[in-house]
Structure 1
Amino acid sequence: MNDVIETILSHRSIRAFKDTEISSEQLDCVLQAGIAASSSSLMQVVSVIRVTDKNKRTELARLAGNQAYVETAAEFLVFCIDYQRHYTLNPEVRPEFTELTLIGAIDAGIMAQNCLLAAESMGLGGVYIGGLRNSPNEVDALLGLPQHTAVMFGLCLGVPDQHPELKPRLSPEVIVHENQYQPLDVDKVKAYDEVMQAYYQARSENVKQQGWSDQVTKKLSQESRPFILDYLNRKGLARQ
């Protein structure tokens, strides 16, 4: 096992950071790693907004559901779908196609994961902030996003001030299928539920009496952010 794989397999979401800055050299490496990520047809349809204004950080923390680490992390990056640069080059560009919105969301995730892995390889830590989509119109206005550009998520980065337990994942036997989709082996999920129950009961913070399947099926049984499509439509995205 090499250092890259060890870094990947050691991933933990970090929500407590030391009051230590990330050097400009480290930040540049993180961003360059993100820009080097795969891009569909080299369209490069992602923009990253580095938020350094303290007042904006405070407001973003509130809009994201009062997640304090948005305000306290050394760096906070916001990843956005961005077809405005392409539209500026040629107004015949059609950003409203749903496939292009999917490409933008996929490429944003790929870029951000490169950024986080680069940061973790340098001893830094981070956590993604999907909560920005709780109030997408307000976040959009705060960051001055133009038409054909939409907020996807944020990423806190900093020097970790915690070492949370490694969260177990589903087995490859459940996730990986060969040649065609296979029926779910419920017994393997039940075994994973037992592992997660033990993890939740043993961890040092936010102890729970819950398995994975109950947790996720409850979450998926109700609509989440029903206003997102209207937001994307307003930004000239995901219309067709």
Structure 2
Amino acid sequence: MNEVITTILNHRSIRHFEDKALTAEQIRTILACAQAASTSSFIQAYSIIGVKDKEKKQKLAELAGNQGYVEKNGHFFIFCADLYRHSLIADHLKKDITPSIESTEKFMVALIDAALAAQNAAIAAESMGLGICYIGGIRNQLEEVKKLLKTPERVIPLFGIAVGYPEKTTDKKPRLPLEHVYHEEEYQQSQETALKQLKVYDEVISSYYQERTGGKRKDQWTEQMAAMLEKQTRMYMKEFIQNNKMNLK
């Protein structure tokens, strides 16, 4: 097993960081790795916003649901779906690309490009001995986030990544069984098999929480997911995206 694989398999979310900023060289290296990710048709439909300002990070933490690690970290990166530059290109070259960049397909391309770049950045940071935590909470109040970051139309902040020197490392959280995630030749649709696999996973997760909390928690994953998904959250998203001239068709 090489160092890259070891780094990937050792991933866990870090939510407590030392009060130590990343260096300019570390930031540029992480960004270079992000840009080295694959991109659909070379469209590069994403942008990354780095936040150092303490007041701005504090405000982002509030907007993300008062998550302290959004404020207290070595550097905060925000990954955005970005088709703004492409609209500038079209205006400059007098081309009509509106039907294309307002399609669901190009919106999906922007999301995928941003996610690929972000995961490259995350692995790069972890390979440098840093810890990371993805922050989806910035989508709680996207209108306010856009105002704070001054993003134009066709740019959607998707998620953040808090990066820094780990102050405290948590245990690695067990993932779903491989046979539940990986299918060969075609999707395996046996409900009986799937439910058996989930039952085994519930036992693994319950044991994980009991050990981690000294018996205070014994959540099962299926119960956790059902309870979470029963709540309707961020239901404004479709209208918000349409108002920002993305994914209209």
Normalising by structure 2, report the TM-score: 0.93
**Residue of structure 2 equivalent to 1:200:** 209
Q: RMSD across aligned C-alpha pairs, in angstroms? A: 1.4
Counterpart of 2:233, as a letter, is S
For 1:135 and 1:10, locate their aligned partners in 2 and report how far apart those are by CA, in whole Å.
32
For 1:27-38, list aligned pairs within 5 A: 27-38=27-38
- How far off its partner does 1:98 sit? 1.1
Aligned to 2:245: 236
Cα drift, residue 204 of structure 1: 4.6
Is 1:188 aligned with 2:197? yes
Counterpart for residue 175 of structure 2: 169
Q: What corresponds to 1:145 in structure 2?
A: 151
Aligned to 1:117: 123
Of 223, 231, 236, 1:227 maps to 236
Give percent identity, aligned residues only.
41
2:104 aligns with 98
> Residues 86-144 of structure 1, C-alpha deviation per residue, up to 9 Å, x if partnerless?
10111322221111111111111111010010000010011011000000100011100
Partner of 1:8: 8
Secondary structure at the aligned position of 1:135 is classed as helix
Superimposed CA distance per residue, residues 151-178 of structure 1 (whole angstroms, 9 cap, x where no aligned partner): 1000100000111001000111000011
Distance in 2, Cα, partners of 1:35 & 1:110: 9
Q: 1:205 deviation in Å?
A: 8.5
Q: Which residue of 1 aligns with 2:46?
A: 46
Residue 31 (structure 1) shift: 0.5
Moved more, 183-192 or 160-169: 183-192
Structure with greater helix percent: 2
SS of 2:129's partner is coil
Structure 1 outlier segments of 4+, above 4 Å: 204-207
**Residue-pair matches, total:** 240
Unpaired segments ≥5 residues, structure 2 = none
